[in-house]
Structure 1
Amino acid sequence: MFINRYPAPGSPPATLLPHVTNGEGKKPRIRLIEYNNDRLDEREISDVGEMIRAIEAGKVTWINIDGLGDIEALRALGELFNLHPLALEDVLNTGQRAKVEQFDDHLFIVAHMVYQNAEKTICGEQVSMFLGKNYLITVQEEADYDVFDPVRVRLRAGRGSIRKAKADYLAYALLDSIIDHYFPVLDEVGCSIEDLEDNLLASPDRSIVMKLHGHRRSLTQLRRFVWPLRDLVNGLLHDNSGLVKDPTKVFLRDCYDHSVQLMDFVESYKEITTGLMELYHSSVGLRTNEVMRVLTVITSIFIPLTFIAGIYGMNFSEEKPEHLEMPLNMPELYHPWGYPGVMAVMLLIAVAQLIFFKRKKWL
């Protein structure tokens, strides 16, 4: 679900290691979008070397790279835009905390986008951004899915002010899309937790606990993604490099509010899962107590019956032996109605105990 990749311990700083699949690094997919208020050009680029020829002056350039299997392409991109080697290393090491770092002529931004695949499994991947004066470079782990389609639709249609603004507004729009896509994921988790709560109250089951444990693990991972988002947006709000303009900071305040809401949702759902785990253990304890109470009542009923049966057991006889006097023996032993009489007494004792337990509300 969530994959973190780190360099080997002791590796030199700025070591670039490709992400490999079956022993081979997958070539990344590079998409270039250039736009201004009047025009938008969108194309795919097969080689980083031709990118410098494709970029037009006076336009905002968005370069999106899907895939981390080719470090030479990433290194060439770093040389082309003067990107710091340590930032490029963080792009490849996908266990980074959400953050914003300031360099000479660009900002380095790390965030994590979360989405659900076709199997409704929560997936997450790191998104790295390099924000310059007139360009924005985004690097993703995979090419199959991202959460930027709403931004692409707005760019192509020219809706709103995105085509009129600079690269800082584009970076805000992408961050806003990342943050907004947390909400449907958390809503799905919340609905599942509510269903588990209803099932848990109706019939506690071990499988429900396993599902709750899975949700708790997912929420723990989501908390690790969501918690630093607030600091990331706050860092952009207080940026003093001049790359984030004041009009964009007004919109970033809305992102800050959404990140705080996400934190509240995650913490609330974690508390609910903890409470449901405790409710399960309490329900199991109550069921055990109910069973033990019934067994105790049954045992209490049979104690006097066992006592009577122990006294009279196997001492009844069909007839009195001839010329045999038993002055100290029980007179009921040779009575013709002795056996049914003792059974009736035992039945009366059991019924009397049941009535007594019922009045005491022990049953």
Structure 2
Amino acid sequence: MARFIKKTKEEIGRAPDELFHRGERKTEEVFIRVIDFDANTVEENALKKVADAISYQDKKTVTWLNIDGLHNKNVMREISQGFNLDELVLANVMNTTARPTVHEYDNCIFISIRMLQLDEETNTISVENLSLVLTKSVLISFQERKGDVFEPIRERIRNKRKRIRNGWTDYLAFALLDIVIDNYIYILSVLGEKVEALEESVGDQPNKSTIKKINVYKRELNYLRRNIRPAKEMILALSKMESEFIFESTYVHFKELRDNINQATDTSDSYREILNDQLNLYHTSISTKLNDIMKFLTIFSVVFIPLTFIAGIYGTNFDNVPELHYKYSYHIMWMVMIVVALSMLYYFKKRKWF
């Protein structure tokens, strides 16, 4: 299946607001977690059903409802009905192959973005679609599987960090997006270290493993770029959005997101140029080595052409060859050949041909 475009035949012709899971199922069960907090209190629970979360929207606190698992359309329908959300919003949540986007509805803002995580042990990058539904008092985050990069946000809430505990759902959404973009930059930095380390081997001793690494890094970087660049468009649109769900004081943070995503895209562009330069340098190094070899072989051949000519003349099978029976003819022949060879080498050196 294609790495960037994934669409099955069953998806064709379905209504945009139909609750149908598009993409790969990455968990069997749906996990529901909630963190409800204000400046003074915090409550954290794992819920068994959506109905247990409905009452939180009536409280004068900030509620972060996290859903792990997007394949259960019954759960999605309960969320749609319980929080009075358009089913089109939940249909977009279940479409994990859609392009990152931001859209404002009557009672919420819908945000989707690719979340990248680097597995330090296997050195592989996992990708999943993250969706955020932002209302005035509830932020619902949807993930494809359990486990995420948001534990630092939960720790900030538990440890009574003033800015996040005094903020509302718009600031919480910023904090989650900030973590996602910081992971973009982190993964790029890890890849960048490998790219920069490759520069020395490209210049000194290029070989088949070098070109293989360059191609692997180019493929991984292109994959990152295909996920980061659409996110940049979404963040730019979000930072310019005028919405009742976003307080004026939070816009400065969304502009910070824009700066961070610009840094990520600029970094990816820089490493792409470096890899292209390394590829060109590799081919140039190989061509230079080949030219040196051809130059040596050419000089070697040119030196031996007149020597072969002399030996051929001297070795002709005729009875009447001058000096054929002369005592020192063989030595004279070698002397002439050595003088000719040295003269040619001197001439090549003077002309700086080697």
TM-score when normalising by structure 1: 0.89
What amino acid is the match of 2:303? I
Cα deviation, 1:185-209, whole Å, max 9, x if unaligned, reads 1111111111111110011112222
Task: Confirm or deny: 8 A CA contact 1:37 1:164 kept in the other structure.
Answer: yes
Higher Rg of the two aligned structures: 1
Query: 1-side partners of 2:203 and 2:337: how far apart?
Result: 41
Matches within 5 A, 1:100-249: 100-117=102-119, 118-144=121-147, 146-249=148-251
Aligned to 2:77: 75
Query: 2-side partners of 1:290 and 1:241: how far apart?
Result: 67
Aligned to 2:349: 358
Aligned to 1:273: 275
Query: 1-side partners of 2:275 and 2:54: how far apart?
Result: 52
Cα distance, 1:81–1:185 mapped onto 2, change above 3 Å: same
Query: 2-side partners of 1:306 and 1:63: how far apart?
Result: 89
Aligned to 1:322: none
Query: 2-side partners of 1:242 and 1:194: how far apart?
Result: 46
Is 1:6–2:10 an aligned residue pair?
A: no
Deviation at 1:230, TM superposition (A): 3.2
Aligned to 1:349: 340
Is 1:251–2:253 an aligned residue pair?
A: yes
Aligned to 2:32: 30
Q: Secondary structure at the match of 1:109?
A: strand
Matches within 5 A, 1:49-88: 49-53=51-55, 57-88=59-90
| Alpha-carbon RMSD | 2.3
Aligned to 1:337: 328
Query: 1-side partners of 2:150 and 2:5: how far apart?
Result: 22
Higher mean C-alpha deviation, range 84-93 or range 39-48: 84-93
Query: 2-side partners of 1:135 and 1:5: how far apart?
Result: 31
Task: Confirm or deny: 8 A CA contact 1:219 1:270 kept in the other structure.
Answer: yes
What amino acid is the match of 1:355? Y
Deviation at 1:55, TM superposition (A): 6.0
Runs of 4+ in 1 over 4 A off after TM superposition: 1-5, 18-21, 53-56
Task: Confirm or deny: 8 A CA contact 1:113 1:126 kept in the other structure.
Answer: yes
Query: 1-side partners of 2:3 and 2:61: how far apart?
Result: 36
TM-score when normalising by structure 2: 0.91
Query: 2-side partners of 1:116 and 1:133: how far apart?
Result: 33
Deviation at 1:315, TM superposition (A): 4.1
Deviation at 1:4, TM superposition (A): 5.9
Q: Secondary structure at the match of 1:214?
A: helix
Cα distance, 1:312–1:206 mapped onto 2, change above 3 Å: same
What amino acid is the match of 1:125? E
Cα deviation, 1:164-217, whole Å, max 9, x if unaligned, reads 111111001111111112222111111111111111001111222222222222
Cα distance, 1:211–1:71 mapped onto 2, change above 3 Å: farther
Deviation at 1:18, TM superposition (A): 6.5
What amino acid is the match of 1:131? L
Query: 2-side partners of 1:223 and 1:20: how far apart?
Result: 21
Higher mean C-alpha deviation, range 32-41 or range 3-12: 3-12
Q: Secondary structure at the match of 2:164?
A: coil
Deviation at 1:308, TM superposition (A): 1.0
Task: Confirm or deny: 8 A CA contact 1:108 1:129 kept in the other structure.
Answer: yes
Aligned length: 349
